[in-house]
Amino acid sequence: MTNWRAVGIGFVVLFVAGALATGVPIVGHIGAGLIGGFAAGYVAGGSFASGAWHGLLAGSIAGVAVAGVFALVVGVLGVAVGGPFGGLLGFGGILVAGIGIAVLLAIDSAIAGGIGALVA
């Protein structure tokens, strides 16, 4: 059974850390995934698989949310600078890159979630 409280806590930690991690693209997002996944797994407790599941959910949801927010911001700025075509390119480019970030956050969040559950 999914503990949505644990997923929510992991999501908040991941969303905030992921938003702050944009200054350090690779290392920052890996660290955000590890911290948020660990938090989700720790709160969920149970077995390694349970913690990994909660970390995976938190990481994937937060990755999609961070990507969506940044895609909207870049799309609006693209319209202001480059017109409609600039906004479309900015939005699409960030959204595609955001899918990669979501996968990155989900993978390491699942591993850290399993470890967090074992520690709990």
Task: For residue 120, give both structure tokens.
Answer: 């709990």
Domain residue limits at 81: 4-119
Q: Please tell me the predicted confidence (pLDDT) of residue 39.
A: 95
Q: Please tell me the predicted confidence (pLDDT) of residue 101.
A: 73
pLDDT in tens, the chain (120 residues): 899 999 999 999 988 887 787 777 767 878 888 999 999 999 999 999 999 999 999 998 988 888 888 888 888 888 888 888 888 888 888 888 888 878 877 889 999 999 999 998
CA atoms of 13 and 58, how far apart (whole Å): 9
CA atoms of 94 and 13, how far apart (whole Å): 22
CA atoms of 42 and 38, how far apart (whole Å): 6
CA atoms of 39 and 75, how far apart (whole Å): 32
Q: Please tell me the predicted confidence (pLDDT) of residue 50.
A: 95
What is the per-residue burial (b if ≥16 Cβ within 10 Å, else e) of 45-70? bbeeebbbbbbbbbbbbbbbbbbeeb
Q: Please tell me the predicted confidence (pLDDT) of residue 6.
A: 95
Q: Please tell me the predicted confidence (pLDDT) of residue 112.
A: 95
Q: Structural domain tally of the chain?
A: 1
Q: Please tell me the predicted confidence (pLDDT) of residue 49.
A: 95
